[in-house]
Structure 1
Amino acid sequence: MTTPRERLEAVGNQIPPLIALIVLWMLLWGEFSWLNLLVAFVVGIVVTVAFYLVPVQLSGRVHPLHAVVFFVRLILDIVRASIDVAWLAIKPKLVSSNAILAIRLHTRSDLILTWTAVATSIVPGSIVVDIDRESSILYLHVLDMHSAADIESFRRQVLDTEQRIVRGFGSREDVERMRGVPPANRRTARSVDQNEQGPL
């Protein structure tokens, strides 16, 4: 049986999709009017109720500096990769060597998993072809992989992207997991330290 707080959280998790549907409806009509807004709200309510999805748990945390770092680095990666792919297209004597890579992420958050998949796919030269949600594994088709060093370099890029997303938008649990310390273990370590120190 759900508690009032859990029901309130479930309703709150449906608000972002509802707002997105309202904005999309207004963009499709191309003009703002109170009638359009009312119809968009009604349609959004019907869609979110009739096609209810498992709510994505938002972290409720944004670190402005790390968020800026993530977006700036993403833009730089897009520019760099665009130049590399353009060179591959006109490169004489091109030897094609593509690969399907399975990359296991550190996070267990659906939100961070999705953001990492999208951020990786919009960079030219790679695209997500499948996702193993249970194991947090991304399967990507990647261009121009000629050696184990190339594969490891790309794997590191994806994990670095995940880390930047976690630092900018992830929950405290996600941040701790990226540091290699599970939150439960950290709490246990704190209680052990307090017990060892004894009363002051």
Structure 2
Amino acid sequence: MKKYYQRASLPMTLWLLCVWLLVFRTLTPVIVVSGIIVALSVQVVLPLPHSGIRWRFRPLACVSLGWHFLVDLVAASWQVSLIVLSGRRVENGVVHVPMRSGDPVHLTLVGAFTSLIPGSLVVKVDSEEPALDLHILDIAGQGGAEHIRCEVRALEYRLMKAVGSGRGSGKSSRGEGAA
């Protein structure tokens, strides 16, 4: 069993302090000190279980991920707007996308990012294979099923580079490379 002072970590303390300050919406010495005390107390009294995976935050890769997401968001919003305003008929369908990583967190993040893009929606997550099934608005307008698979795999790769774990980042549980 870990000693009490080893249960608290600086990143978690800072995160809990930020939440505390957002709740009180003021920055006074009393609020800051009480927030630190509460943050440390929560970690000591209610410790989180260790996952065994060390996630790494890579700022430049996160900026790249954010930029690509923003570009995809604007382009898809424009495409969906044109479809709605023109009233033209489009071919919709479900595209099966095998993923490189079987990590449930990676699948969840890729699914969340993909569903936030207009015109795409995750309809099934298969953690056994691992794969995502996506409902796509205007498959032909997005370059076809294979192009959609490549785009989702590129998103997965950028996500794994941005917030992947130190071991296995860029590789799946089956030992395949991410490039």
- The TM-score range, normalised by the shorter chain, is 0.5 to 0.7
User: 2:127 corresponds to which residue?
Assistant: 133
Pick one of 92, 113, 121 that aligns with 2:115: 121
User: 1:58 corresponds to which residue?
Assistant: 54
Q: 1:108 and 1:12 mapped to 2: Cα distance? A: 30
Q: 2:175 and 2:22 mapped to 1: Cα distance? A: 41
* Counterpart residue type for residue 105 of structure 1: M
RMSD across aligned positions (CA): 3.9
Which whole-Å deviations, capped at 9, do the CAs of 1:122-163 have from their partners, x for residues lacking one?
22221334433344322333222359x622221211011111
Counting matched residue pairs gives 169
User: 2:76 corresponds to which residue?
Assistant: 81
Q: 2:77 and 2:84 mapped to 1: Cα distance? A: 11
Contact 1:81–1:125 (CA under 8 A) maintained in structure 2:
yes
Q: 1:86 and 1:116 mapped to 2: Cα distance? A: 24
How much identity, in percent, do the aligned residues show?
Answer: 20
User: 1:197 corresponds to which residue?
Assistant: none
- Deviation (angstroms), 1:85: 1.1
- Does 1:174 find its partner at 2:169? yes
- Deviation (angstroms), 1:34: 4.8
Which whole-Å deviations, capped at 9, do the CAs of 1:48-86 have from their partners, x for residues lacking one?
939x5774833336373x443322222111111111111
* Counterpart residue type for residue 137 of structure 2: L
* SS state at 1:70 partner: helix
* SS state at 2:97 partner: strand
* Counterpart residue type for residue 45 of structure 1: V
User: 1:90 corresponds to which residue?
Assistant: 85
* Counterpart residue type for residue 92 of structure 2: N
* Counterpart residue type for residue 76 of structure 2: A
Q: Which TM-score applies when normalising by structure 1?
A: 0.61
- Deviation (angstroms), 1:106: 0.3
* SS state at 2:134 partner: strand
Q: 2:126 and 2:145 mapped to 1: Cα distance? A: 20
- Does 1:101 find its partner at 2:98? no
Q: 2:134 and 2:91 mapped to 1: Cα distance? A: 14
Contact 1:85–1:125 (CA under 8 A) maintained in structure 2:
yes
* SS state at 1:59 partner: coil
5+ residue gaps, structure 1: 183-200
Q: For residues 135 and 26 of structure 1, do their structure 2 counterparts lie closer, same or farther at Cα, with a shift above 3 Å needed?
A: farther
- Deviation (angstroms), 1:22: 4.2
